[in-house]
Each structure stands twice: as C-alpha cells, then as structure tokens.
Amino acid sequence: DAGVIQSPRHEVTEMGQEVTLRCKPISGHNSLFWYRQTMMRGLELLIYFNNNVPIDDSGMPEDRFSAKMPNASFSTLKIQPSEPRDSAVYFCASSSSQGGNTEAFFGQGTRLTVV
Amino acid sequence: ELKVEQNPLFLSMQEGKNYTIYCNYSTTSDRLYWYRQDPGKSLESLFVLLSNGAVKQEGRLMASLDTKARLSTLHITAAVHDLSATYFCAVSIYNQGGKLIFGQGTELSVKP
C-alpha cells in the first residue's frame, strides 16, 4: 500500500480564498483523522471519522472549517474563507480498529500558507 | 477531557548519555503510542503499547506503560546524533471511536 496520500503537498493562497485539502487513507482503514500542526499549538485534532461518519468535530476551530468523507477512500478538509492564522501543516492519518490495534499512519502533510 | 502531557519539552543530550522522556495522561486509555517526527517531515510510528506493564524496545529506544499511574516513558540509551528528532506520545480512547490525542512533543537534540 502507498500509505496515506495527501494533496497538495504545499498550498499558498490569498486571504479570503477557499482552500481544499485532500486525503486518501490506507485501504481497509476505517478511521480517519485530520490534524493541524503549528509551533504555537502543537498537534491539534480537528476532526475524526469512523466508518465515514464524523465522530468528533470539537477541534474544528470555527465555521470556516468543514470536513467530509463521502466514501471510505477519500476525505476533504475545506477552509472558506481562509485567513493568515490558518497557516499550518495539516496532516491526515488513518487507522484500523480491526484486531484491536488502532495505530495511526500519517500522510506527508499539506503545508498551507495564507498570505 | 483527555489531556496528554510530556516532559521535558526540550532535551539537549550528549552522545552516549541516557535519558528518559515522560508522558502523563489524564484519563483511562486503551492504548498508548510513541511517534517520531524529523524536521519538515511526517510522523513515524515507533511503538504501540497495549496493556499495563508493556515494554517494547527498538535499538536504543525502549518504551514502557504503567496504566495505573497513567504514565509512559521513552528511555534513550547511549544516545546518538541520528536520534535527534521530536518525539510524541499519543493516547487513544476506544469507546470514543479511537479518538487519538497527542502530547506536546519533546524536541531531542543529541550533540557530539
């Protein structure tokens, strides 16, 4: 398996624009996590899905952020409108609860810069 | 609310020395993980600890778990420069769908 695949790897956008980050989890994994990493706040869990259903979105900073998982092999994180304080590295991770081992595997991340 | 706290947050070591990173968490958890992150890179899984008293070792790193104390340790033996990275512990809660919460990370720098 190619692992968790995120796109784009880098995104530079102007304030006010819509940004969509994409994630393809590892095939067969049934949990998917979106994290944001900044120097100030570390790794923050934004939202996670179990079997394509959002379980906990309490980490989503505000209404400008939304996430979807229309099927088991694809998820998006959208920011609209984007602001400079959204600049961060966004990671997607997936895991499997089969067999009790929920080790999460991370994608390479999307480095977002909002100017 | 589950909180995961690591200490120290920064650690500068000399090669050949031993040290321990601590990870405390605030509520009952099913499993504990240790990850490594190199600068500008993603997170790499190091260890998965599933039960009280679990101990795992890989090279110069050894992780242990005490669920009663809600404490995990990552012990570094005879550090080498290649171990320089940021180390994270993370805790999952099974009855919350496997929600995975990370500590702040410990930035380790091993100097010759």
Where on the phi/psi map is residue A58: left (φ > 0), alpha (ψ -120 to 50), or beta?
Answer: alpha
Q: Do B97 and A31 make contact, defined as CB atoms within 8 angstroms? A: yes
Nearest to B65 by CA among B53, B77, B79: B53
Q: Do A102 and B97 make contact, defined as CB atoms within 8 angstroms? A: no
A101: pLDDT strictly greater than 80: no
Nearest to B98 by CA among A111, A27, A51: A51
Q: Do A105 and B97 make contact, defined as CB atoms within 8 angstroms? A: no
Q: What pLDDT does residue B84 have?
A: 97
Tens-place pLDDT, residues A57-99: 999 988 999 999 999 999 999 999 999 999 999 999 999 876 6
Contact B67, B52 (CB under 8 A): yes
Which residues of chain B make contact with A42, given a CB cutoff of 8 A?
102, 104-105
**Strands of the B19-25 sheet, one edge to the other:** B4-7, B19-25, B71-76, B61-66, B55-58
Contact A42, B102 (CB under 8 A): yes
Q: How many CA within 13 A on the CB side of residue B34?
A: 28
Which residues of chain A make contact with B98, given a CB cutoff of 8 A?
31, 48, 50, 95, 97, 102
Which pLDDT band, with edges at 50, 70 and 90, does B63 fall under?
Answer: very high
Tens-place pLDDT, residues B14-41: 999 999 999 999 987 778 999 999 999 9
